[in-house]
Amino acid sequence: MSHTIIALAGYIIWTMLLLLALATYRTSLVSSKQRTSLKFASDGSDVSEFGHRLTRAQANCVESFAFIGGTMLLALATNSAVITDGLAFVLLGARLAQSIVHLASTSNMAIQIRFVLFLIQCGVCGYWLFMLLSKFMG
């Protein structure tokens, strides 16, 4: 199995785990009567600081899937995983680390670290797209 397939599956699993954690967190608030309604703000602004970070970390994964998952799927669909395999685990590691840092803190340092991790993901996808387009256009 290619590294691209494993990294793509890992990304999807991570997004699902964050969603399940968010659902569990929200359910626990209602079960413990800290909330009287199952209605929650989609941005997490109506819960604790950690609940807000968890909401945003999960949303960040979903938002980034368009370019990360899309690029990996493009490589797989065009039988070009050789282009993405080399950095697939780097990208997945940066994605996981970004989420973990997001869950841990919103300090200025944590925000800067998250941004660097996001730039790594953008850089890897940008490189992949350049290589994919070069393969098919030139």
Q: Are 92 and 9 in contact, with CB atoms under 8 Å apart?
A: no
Mean pLDDT of all residues belonging to the chain: 95
State the pTM of this model.
Answer: 0.92
Neighbours of 121 (CB within 10 A): 20
Region for 79 from its dihedrals, namely left if φ exceeds 0, alpha if ψ lies in -120 to 50, beta otherwise: left
User: 13 falls in which pLDDT band (50, 70, 90)?
Assistant: very high
